[in-house]
Amino acid sequence: MTGADGERIARQAEEKFQADRVPIMEPAVLDAGAAFLHFLGTGGNPLNLITQERQNGGMYLRYGARSLYIDPGPGAIVHAARARLPLSWLDAVFISHGHTDHYLGAGAIIEAMCRIMRVRRGRLLLPAQMIASGQIDAYHRGELASSGYPGGPEVEVLAHGRPVPLPGGAVLTPVRTDHGIEGYGFRFEWEGIRVGYTSDTRFIQTFRDRHGTVRPVEAGTKLDPGGEVVDSNAWIQEAMGDVDLLVANVSFFHLFAHRQFTAVGLRHLLRAGRVGRCILTHFDPSIGSPHATARSVAAWLEEETGVSCTAAWDGMRVELIA
């Protein structure tokens, strides 16, 4: 090779660098008419985290020309890139709680939102406990800006019932969860569209089996599908019971109800509320693999409640309609 070859390679590399940089630093305006929810991962819990039978990428919510990333777990940036989602136009990242399957991919998503950490933009919404524990480090909270990477997000600490205004006229209201650590689901409202997200949470407090025996829901309790809920977390029912679309983290059918929603618990919420449509996600392999099992759980819920229920799959996109 000659000196001319080196000059040619350098010129080509510089041209490619500049061409690649433009859509990140100066992205095109998004379609203002779009409103959808894209599932980048529908698996949850430690076993699925290890096996990745279902992805842990979280969800991407587009509302008009604005967007929100929800619970970016491991692999989030990979799944979002493959879906060709314009992450440099993200307006906010929401993290419900500090469990690995909900936040471990957040760093890369934040860097994308902040355009390779070159711009101060976007918001990071998360529990205070995650800041105190350092689960989202100071750099990705925008607190270690340097001459090369001066960017970062605005940090918003979540609090139950305290509305968070988002760009584009949307409002996200955190709903506290009952999952052993500080965590939040939310109600999202924009131009007549109401979306609820349960995140991971206990819902049932006491349960009556088919024989009439009432017991508190504790570790090791197996809910009887033929029984019924006696007491539940009322604030969750109030917040999630009247949305157009409810995204419910249903890890298990009837197990671990002392920490998780369960299909049996969701049946109670749907019967007592006015939910327009329900999408199940965050499946443990016990009901998420094979996918036919998850679909059978959704069909059981629909038959039991009369509410349209769908088992989400990795890559599923749902249009949002008021």
C-alpha 154/C-alpha 293 separation (Å) is 41
31-319 architecture in CATH?
4-Layer Sandwich (3.60)
C-alpha 293/C-alpha 278 separation (Å) is 17
* Mean pLDDT of all residues in 269-281: 97
221 near 280, Cβ under 8 Å? Answer: no
Quickly state the pLDDT bin for 298 (edges 50, 70, 90): very high
Quickly state the pLDDT bin for 10 (edges 50, 70, 90): confident
How many alpha carbons fall within 13 Å on the CB side of residue 61?
28
Task: Give the Cβ contact number of residue 305 at 10 Å.
Answer: 19
| In the chain, % of residues over pLDDT 70 | 99
Beta strand 204-208 pairing with 277-281: unpaired
Q: Return the domain boundaries, the chain.
A: 31-319
Quickly state the pLDDT bin for 1 (edges 50, 70, 90): low
pLDDT for the residue numbered 19: 84
Q: Judge whether residue 92 has pLDDT over 90.
A: yes
| In the chain, % of residues over pLDDT 90 | 87
* Mean pLDDT of all residues in 185-206: 98
> Cβ neighbours of residue 210 under 8 Å, at least 6 residues apart?
224, 226, 227
pLDDT for the residue numbered 2: 67
pLDDT for the residue numbered 264: 98
* Mean pLDDT of all residues in 131-140: 97
295 near 312, Cβ under 8 Å? Answer: no
pLDDT tens digits along 232-268: 999 999 999 999 999 999 999 999 999 999 999 999 9
